[in-house]
Every structure is written in structure tokens, then in C-alpha cells.
């Protein structure tokens, strides 16, 4: 369904016409595809009286809430074609989202993620420090969102070193030996934001190790709630990493298990998250009207990657604001946005009630 040339082009370089025409046409085709292949998605669209082939704009593509993946099994391919199931993070008392992937969908996620990560790391795999525990003992067919992210991003590194041992403690001896081997050239660091804060900024014992990460390139995402409660902004987070470890290349990303692969990377120019050839964002008010630049509302994320499940247009439980629409950089014609936090009541009504 996807154009084979999609993954050969710069994910951040595209024309305004691409967004209005080619991208929209593909999303429209995906809507028709899922309508025909997923009975529950068909039921939702029929209840909403959505007319297939209604060619107007992305704003009119139907939306489903992320929480629907917690309550129902949505797939647009035969069950025997599913090769991997991703699950969202959650507590033992809460339901988790279940995302079903066939070989094609899983492969396209990796291809898209590869292009995005290469934009900050380059084409060669770098030595990699993962600020977490080794997930090798987890079920390899059913991944949690956390494990899926670790394994997904680890593909772009080599000589992997897990900072935490099996008991969750910092492996100082291993880290010291690792840095002796690899810290003289660029290396990749990955972790969830809260884990970076907890283990690098809070727990790291500077008396046990002189940690110089000046050659490091850090990619982190998720887990901001804890830092926000401590009044730690993105800028303060970066400043502390630079101050303590001489770590200057720090990139935040925004993504979710429902659209794995088409993550949004932080722009080093305006500081917002940038849309790509694979992704789009729309901000909506409580009545689901599309909002313009500078207005805070609910975040709708759109991706052209989901083919094995109807996750191409979903309403998140986050609040956000578009800060720039195109021309953030000379060859960038997408949008830049920032995430303002979770909705006050993380429950989206409307199309979630039709089932």
C-alpha cells in the first residue's frame, strides 16, 4: 500500500503539495482499507455516518481514541498473519493497548524509524548505552511499549551496554570499562526521560566515576509527568545534563505504541516536535474542531504506517499546541508543536461510545 520510494527520501523534506495531495490520498486509502478489513472500525464509521471517498482534507479523516485499543482487539489482517503484539505501559490494575502487527507493518515501522534516527545519528551504527535493564528475558512475541522501544532503538546502535543490572542498580564497573573503550568517539545514549533523570541526574555517584559524556548523543522520550511534578522543564533537564556530564546533544521525542515508527523528533531550531513524511498532527478543541497555531487543545496524530490495524488517525489523551506551521527551516514544510501535558480527565468521549 505504501510507496516503495517513501523510505528513500528525507523524512523532513517535502513540499506543501505533498501534504495536501499525496499524504492525504494515502491516509484516505488507509481509511477505506481499514473500513473494509476491520469490522469494528467499520461499525464506528457507520455509526458516525462517515462517507468513504469523502475527499476534502486531513481534518475530515475520522478519528478514534487511543483508549479503544485498550478495550478491543482491532486488526485489519487475518489473525494468523499477526507476528508481533505491542502493548502500552500500564499498571497491574489498568488495561493496556494491544497493537497487532503483520510482517509488512512491522517492517515499515523499522524503515521509518531508521530514517528518523539517522537524521540525528548519521548512517553508521554507534556504540550504545541504554539507561535501563536488559529486556532479553521478556516474551519476544508480546512486547510492552517499554521493551518495544528499547529493542527498536537498539537496532541503531552496536556494542550495547545496559546501565542497570538485573536488580535495577547502576553497573559502575561495567560503565567505566565501556567508556574507556568507546567514549573517545561519538556514541548513542537512549532511555526514557524519567529513567535518565532518576539514574543519571539523581542517583549517579560522582565519587565512584568521573562521567564525561561530551561525545554522547542522547535520545529520550516519555515519562515527563514525574519531572513536571518536580517543576523540571525540558530546558532545565538539558542544562543539568550539560552541567554534570558535558552532554550537549540531547533530543527529546514524542511517540506512542499505537503509532510506533512514526515518532516526532525535537527540532534543534524551535524546540518543538516536527512532523514528517510519515506523520501529521492536528490540534482539536472539546468539540473536535481543528485549531490553528497558538491554541491549546487535544492532540490528534496521523500516520501513514499502520496497515495491519486501524491506528492511522487517533486522538491521544495529551494536550498540545502548534507553535509553527512550515518554514521552521528552509526545506521544512511541516508543523512544529509542543506537548502541554495530559488532559485533565484522560477520557475522550464521542466515537469511543459507539461500540
Q: What is the CATH number of the domain that holds 248?
A: 3.40.50.12780
What is the average pLDDT across 327-333?
A: 71
Mean pLDDT taken over the chain = 89
Q: What is the pLDDT of residues 20-33, one digit of tens each?
A: 889 999 999 999 99
Asked if 62 and 31 count as a contact pair (C-beta separation under 8 A), the reply is yes
How does pLDDT run across 125-182, given as a tens digit for each residue? 999 999 999 987 555 555 677 787 888 899 999 999 999 998 899 999 999 999 999 9
Mean pLDDT of 263-283: 93
CA distances from 317 to 119, 327, 343, 345, 348 (A): 28, 28, 6, 8, 7
Share of the chain above pLDDT 90, in %: 67
Task: Give the helix ranges, DSSP H, for 126-210.
Answer: 145-154, 172-182, 193-196
User: How many Å separate Cα 86 from the centre of its chain?
Assistant: 13
Cβ neighbourhood burial of 44 (10 Å; 0-12, 13-18, 19+): buried
Give the number of other Cβ atoms within 10 Å of residue 105's Cβ: 26
pLDDT the model gives residue 343: 87
Q: What is the mean pLDDT of residues 193-213?
A: 92
pTM of the predicted protein model: 0.89
DSSP-derived secondary structure letter, 132: S
Residue with cell 523524512: 11
| Burial tier of 4 (Cβ tally within 10 Å: 0-12, 13-18, 19+) | exposed
Place of cell 475530515: 60
Is the confidence at residue 226, as pLDDT, over 90? no
CB 291 within 8 A of CB 297: yes
Kindly give the residue spans of alpha helices, DSSP state H, lying in 183-233. Answer: 193-196, 224-229
Please give the C-alpha separations between residue 218 and each of 96, 110, 129, 136, in angstroms, as whole numbers: 28, 19, 9, 22
**Segment 121-131, tens digit of pLDDT:** 999 999 999 99
Q: Is the pLDDT of residue 304 over 80?
A: yes
Domain coverage including residue 159: 4-353
Q: How many domains does the chain have?
A: 1
Amino acid at each position: 500500500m505504501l510507496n516503495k520510494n517513501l523510505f528513500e527520501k528525507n523524512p523532513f523534506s517535502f513540499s506543501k503539495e505533498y501534504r495536501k495531495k499525496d499524504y492525504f490520498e494515502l491516509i484516505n486509502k488507509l481509511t477505506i482499507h481499514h473500513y473494509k478489513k476491520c469490522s469494528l472500525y467499520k461499525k464506528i464509521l457507520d455509526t458516525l455516518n462517515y462517507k468513504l471517498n469523502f475527499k476534502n482534507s486531513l481534518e475530515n479523516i475520522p478519528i478514534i481514541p487511543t483508549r479503544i485499543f485498550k478495550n478491543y482487539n482491532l486488526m485489519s489482517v487475518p489473525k494468523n498473519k499477526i507476528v508481533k503484539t505491542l502493548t502500552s505501559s500500564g499498571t497491574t490494575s489498568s488495561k493496556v493497548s494491544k497493537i497487532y502487527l503483520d510482517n509488512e507493518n512491522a517492517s515499515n515501522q523499522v524503515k521509518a524509524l531508521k530514517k528518523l534516527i539517522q537524521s540525528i545519528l548519521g548512517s553508521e551504527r554507534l556504540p550504545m548505552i541504554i539507561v535501563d535493564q536488559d529486556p532479553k528475558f521478556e516474551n519476544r512475541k508480546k512486547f510492552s511499549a517499554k521493551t518495544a522501544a528499547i529493542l527498536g532503538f537498539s537496532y541503531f546502535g552496536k556494542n550495547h551496554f545496559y546501565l542497570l543490572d538485573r536488580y535495577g542498580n547502576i553497573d559502575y564497573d561495567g560503565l567505566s570499562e565501556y567508556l574507556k573503550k568507546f567514549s573517545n568517539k561519538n556514541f548513542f545514549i537512549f532511555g526514557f526521560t524519567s529513567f535518565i533523570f532518576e539514574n543519571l541526574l539523581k542517583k549517579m555517584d560522582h565519587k565512584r566515576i568521573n562521567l564525561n559524556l561530551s561525545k554522547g548523543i542522547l535520545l529520550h522520550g516519555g515519562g515527563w509527568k514525574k519531572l513536571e511534578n518536580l517543576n523540571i522543564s525540558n530546558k532545565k533537564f538539558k542544562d543539568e545534563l550539560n552541567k554534570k556530564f558535558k552532554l550537549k546533544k540531547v533530543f527529546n521525542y514524542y511517540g506512542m505504541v499505537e503509532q510506533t515508527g512514526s515518532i516526532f523528533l525535537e527540532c534543534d531550531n524551535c524546540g518543538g516536535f516536527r512532523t514528517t513524511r510519515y506523520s501529521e498532527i492536528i490540534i482539536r478543541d472539546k468539540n473536535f474542531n481543528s485549531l490553528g497555531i497558538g491554541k491549546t487543545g487535544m492532540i490528534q496524530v496521523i500516520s501513514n504506517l499502520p496497515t495491519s490495524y486501524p491506528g492511522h488517525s487517533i486522538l491521544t489523551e495529551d494536550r498540545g499546541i502548534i507553535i509553527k506551521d512550515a518554514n521552521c527551516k528552509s526545506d521544512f514544510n511541516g508543523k512544529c508543536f509542543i506537548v502541554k501535558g495530559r488532559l485533565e480527565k484522560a477520557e475522550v468521549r464521542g466515537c469511543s461510545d459507539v461500540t
